[in-house]
Amino acid sequence: MTILRLGTRRSRLATSQSQWVADLLRDAGHSVELVPLATLGDLDTERPLRDFGGSGAFASTLRRALRDGVVDLAVHSLKDVPTAPEEGLVIAAIPRREDPRDALITRDGVTLGELPSGARVGTGSLRRRSQLLALGYGLEVHDLRGNVETRLAAVTSGALDGVVLALAGLRRLGLTEAVSETLDPLVMLPAPGQGALAVETRDDDPAVIAAVSMLEDPDTRACVEAERSLLATLEAGCSAPVGALAEVVEGMDGLELSLRAFVGAADGSHELRRSLVGEVHDAAALGARLAGILLEHGAADRVGASGR
């Protein structure tokens, strides 16, 4: 039996995500070997991601390994994958999504509303920074890079009063006991694609595409297609202050797709929040329509100002 070589970032979280995918493939009768790769985003943990091309810095090394035939498939956190198609590659499967919400971790277990004015909260995300500052709680938001363990250590050491991380990553690492509060999307909309994984292959490798197709979750695919279409139409990169969350919900005439979005200024001085409902099978069009509404209300000025 041919062994599927699965490319993964070296971090504990990325390896955990890739191991989950590998186990599903093994359960289906495939042999899988994990191939750890060091990405640019992992090697440089000091500068903000936006300084060297945004979160695409994590995907580029894995994609190069795919194109060069070093690996047969790669597992990405979908929020780190640029929205533009990559020539020669295809996202062959998007498995069932983990909880997409953000989580707050504080030293004393206090919630966001209980943090005092001047409390120091860490994040490497402009999206989170923008929404935290827009709350008007008087928080000091500090740039923070590094793996999950490094960020949690900034709280336990007293360097920061709190950090905001993706709940999905904490769940995959078995660290949910550290969570002080799961942030409601009404307060903090997640990044487009957050909590979802992308299994990418070469588009001319039908055997591998067929092998991973059993991982596909149609509802998750529809949700992230709507979110990523919105991001692409706004022409905002992975690191821009844009949040989006789509959900398949029960409507008057059956299942429908509900999409909420946020665009803000990095300093929290301005924000736009809009929502739209559409057909599940028309996810990309729904995302583009909501992006159009945001653009009509000045979203381009907010995204542009944040990138300067």
Q: Which residues are catalytic?
A: 80
How far, in Å, CA of 269 to CA of 216, rounded?
Answer: 40
| Side-chain half-sphere exposure of 56, counting CA atoms within 13 A | 15
- Which residue from 133, 154, 179, 153 is spatially nearest to 271, judged by alpha carbons? 133
- Which residue from 13, 232, 192, 163 is spatially nearest to 100, judged by alpha carbons? 192
Q: Using H for helix, E for strand and C for coil, what is the string for 143-200?
A: ECCCCHHHHHHHHHCCCCCEEEEEHHHHHHCCCHHHCCEECCCCCCCCCCCCCCEEEE
Question: Burial code of 244-282, b = ≥16 C-beta within 10 A, e = fewer?
Answer: bbbebeeeeeeebbbbbbbbbbbebebbbebebebebee
Tokens of 194: 């957050």
Please answer whether residues 4 and 73 qualify as being in contact, where contact means their C-beta atoms are separated by less than 8 angstroms. yes
Q: Compute how many other C-beta atoms are within 10 angstroms of the C-beta atom of residue 206.
A: 11
Polymer length of the chain: 308
